[in-house]
Structure 1
Amino acid sequence: MNDAALYFTAPETVEIRSVTVGSPDESELLVDTRVSAISAGTEMLVYRDETPSGLPADETIDGLGEEFSYPIRYGYAASGVVSDVGADVDPDWLGRTVFSFAPHQTRFRADPDDVVPLSEETSPETGALVPSVETATNVVLDAAPRIGERVVVLGAGVIGLCVTRLLASFPLAELVAVDPIGRRRGLALEMGADRATTPEEVVETVDDADLVIELSGRPAALNDAIDVVGYDARIVVGSWYGTKREPIDLGGRFHRDRIDIVSTQVSTISPELRGRWSRERRLDTALNWVNRIDVDELITHRVPFERAAEAYDLLDSEPEAAVQVVLEYR
């Protein structure tokens, strides 16, 4: 079989290149990819060459420890079917649908410990969204929403929508989703937000939020976050801005109102939680939630793998047209 992988080769350029996957080693699985999800946040930073130089892609994921430099295979949301196993692997793995933090490519080899078996009711499309739900789980753990709080989520992309769905299960006083795109605001309401509004409107209508979660990908949104929280409130930043920079107003209310700004990042567990939470527990929690999210509503475009360049061009030039874009392999 001729295998292929997607490479980021230059700014705003991706190519499908032949790769050699081969047969699994004695302790490995061979997985035929069915669906992989494109991250409109991190991957578009790679696509646009907006990642900091000298920074590893992700040291916590095997195969993503190299620096962000072209050409690079990147991606971490693949699901597929086990088509072959090594001599030392239980043959019951054959035919199972699994998820892996693997780049976009037609097939891949992995140790059994590096894949996540999916339940029979979990489709490959749903499985490809496991990283988004796991990231959302990490965001909510770090945000620590409390009963009766007023919470604002800035950004209703895939992560923002997943966070909104999780937060909707909490006994909050109000959950407000914010996004400039009407379609995404509508999805946020479907995910359980009490109200959905635009960045301009939220600054005019909210001024005493207890917690703001910033997931828009825009550094300037931190100014909106500062504007809408109250005294001694919390701002949790889940966006990765890459090399994007904007002036942030820290000379006004931020200082005198004792506003906390903290980051949340899925590669690690917060030190305050490590006594009870592990990456395995967090992933199990995400797997319990992934089937409670309407994936068909989130996936707006299904693009054949061989036409992947069209998918990235869409996300780059018409971000308002897409929510979740996935690549299909057969």
Structure 2
Amino acid sequence: MHRESLYFTAPETIDLRETATTYSADEILVETQVSAISGGTEMLIYRGEAPNDLPADETLDALNGDLSFPLRYGYAAVGEVIETGSAIEDKWLGERVLAFNPHETYFSAAPSDVISVPEEVEAGEMALYPTVETATTLVLDGKPQIGERVAIFGAGVIGLCTVGLLATFPLSELLVIEPLAERRKRARELGADRVVAPSELSETRWDDATGPSGADLLFELSGHPPALDQALNLAGYDSRLVVGSWYGTKPTTLDLGGDFHRDRISIQSSQVSTLAPSLRGRWTFDRRSAVTLQNLKELPVDSLVTHRIPFENAAKGYRLIEDHPEDTLQVLLTYQ
């Protein structure tokens, strides 16, 4: 079967190409209904800021090869099963599924590589499953504790979902640092106790006579390397800084000559493709998936979608994210 696939061909250049797809006896064929553009990794690829010799994703069969141009990319496609291989039960026909698959009109996958869409969840909402899964992983890695002071740098889609999850915890305070006013507003709506612009951060202090000053737990989710230094300046003694951003080829310089050494600050990376070693005794990918689906139903993810763009006009979606971040949050590509 012929399909159209989105290719990144050069910095800030995409192309829709006709490709062929087949499916084996133990695979399903899916007609895509909607896919989500990632504002993080995918936009680094779009800008040409991803290291081109890095594997696209060694944990996902649909993302083979490296990050050099030209390449297909994307990992949030939702569609309907329209055909099945001879070894697949007919019950799969008509099933709505999500796959970690690039943007294209049709794709094939093994049933074990897709997630069934709950009946009460819309296709556009399910396209944000990978985002909510990332936010769930961040919270698992951060291990927030009762009464802690928590700061989040960056209120993009992942940052806002993380805000929504952490707002359910009995924290002392949840602070969000974000340069765009509209995103600061959304962070408040999702439960942040306090929201400031980066320029106001020097005026932000946590002084507590009952214990160490500064934040206990911080998340860097802005994708902006200088935010790491800002986070370190806000961090308190024995605090944890979880870095969920991937900076690609953007240079990152940390000032570790101040209080970092004496304050025993821990910096930890968080990435959704794996589970933290400390969690693997009791957590599996299936367990995290079940928790993610529950979080997806409880978070107002539909309110984070600002644009729905027909697949044939996909270039417009990337330009909106790049040129108008103040008005653009989550862009979905539609296929019908």
TM-score, normalising length: structure 1: 0.97
Give aligned pairs, total.
329
Q: CA deviation at 1:229?
A: 1.4
Q: Secondary structure at the match of 1:217?
A: coil
Q: Secondary structure at the match of 2:276?
A: coil
Q: CA deviation at 1:6?
A: 0.2
Where do residues 304-315 of structure 1 align in structure 2 (5 Å cutoff)? 304-315=310-321
Which residue of the partner structure matches residue 292 of structure 1? 298
C-alpha distance in 2, partners of 1:20/1:206?
Answer: 57
Which residue of the partner structure matches residue 173 of structure 1? 172
C-alpha distance in 2, partners of 1:64/1:192?
Answer: 35
Which residue of the partner structure matches residue 258 of structure 1? 264
Q: Secondary structure at the match of 1:319?
A: coil
Which residue of the partner structure matches residue 75 of structure 1? 74
Which residue of the partner structure matches residue 328 of structure 2? 322
Which residue of the partner structure matches residue 124 of structure 1? 123
Q: Which amino acid aligns with 1:268?
A: T
CA contact 1:125–1:295 (8 Å) conserved in 2: no
Q: Which amino acid aligns with 2:20?
A: T
Q: Which amino acid aligns with 2:271?
A: Q
Match status 1:140 vs 2:146? no
Q: CA deviation at 1:53?
A: 3.4
Which residue of the partner structure matches residue 8 of structure 1? 8
What's the Cα RMSD here? 1.2
Q: Secondary structure at the match of 2:277?
A: coil
Where do residues 211-290 of structure 1 align in structure 2 (5 Å cutoff)? 211-290=217-296
C-alpha distance in 2, partners of 1:189/1:252?
Answer: 32
Where do residues 94-133 of structure 1 align in structure 2 (5 Å cutoff)? 94-133=93-132
C-alpha distance in 2, partners of 1:210/1:50?
Answer: 32
C-alpha distance in 2, partners of 1:53/1:3?
Answer: 26
Which residue of the partner structure matches residue 192 of structure 2? 193
CA contact 1:231–1:259 (8 Å) conserved in 2: yes
CA contact 1:187–1:297 (8 Å) conserved in 2: no
Q: CA deviation at 1:2?
A: 4.3
Over 6 Å off, 4+ runs: none
Q: Which amino acid aligns with 2:47?
A: R
Q: Secondary structure at the match of 1:291?
A: helix
Which residue of the partner structure matches residue 211 of structure 2? none
CA contact 2:62–2:100 (8 Å) conserved in 1: no
C-alpha distance in 2, partners of 1:199/1:38?
Answer: 26
Q: CA deviation at 1:172?
A: 0.5
Which residue of the partner structure matches residue 161 of structure 1? 160
C-alpha distance in 2, partners of 1:206/1:234?
Answer: 17
C-alpha distance in 1, partners of 2:260/2:18?
Answer: 52
C-alpha distance in 1, partners of 2:99/2:273?
Answer: 15
Unaligned runs of 5+ in 1: none
CA contact 1:152–1:209 (8 Å) conserved in 2: yes
Q: Secondary structure at the match of 1:256?
A: coil
Over the matched positions of the two proteins, sequence identity in percent amounts to: 53
Q: Secondary structure at the match of 1:34?
A: strand
Q: CA deviation at 1:65?
A: 3.2
C-alpha distance in 1, partners of 2:172/2:126?
Answer: 32
Unaligned runs of 5+ in 2: 207-213
C-alpha distance in 1, partners of 2:110/2:27?
Answer: 5
Q: CA deviation at 1:34?
A: 0.5
Q: CA deviation at 1:295?
A: 2.2
C-alpha distance in 2, partners of 1:261/1:192?
Answer: 25
C-alpha distance in 2, partners of 1:247/1:288?
Answer: 38
Which residue of the partner structure matches residue 151 of structure 2? 152
Q: Secondary structure at the match of 1:302?
A: strand
Which residue of the partner structure matches residue 210 of structure 2? none
Q: Secondary structure at the match of 2:35?
A: strand
Q: CA deviation at 1:232?
A: 1.2
C-alpha distance in 1, partners of 2:271/2:252?
Answer: 21
C-alpha distance in 2, partners of 1:52/1:255?
Answer: 31
C-alpha distance in 1, partners of 2:238/2:166?
Answer: 21
C-alpha distance in 1, partners of 2:253/2:29?
Answer: 48
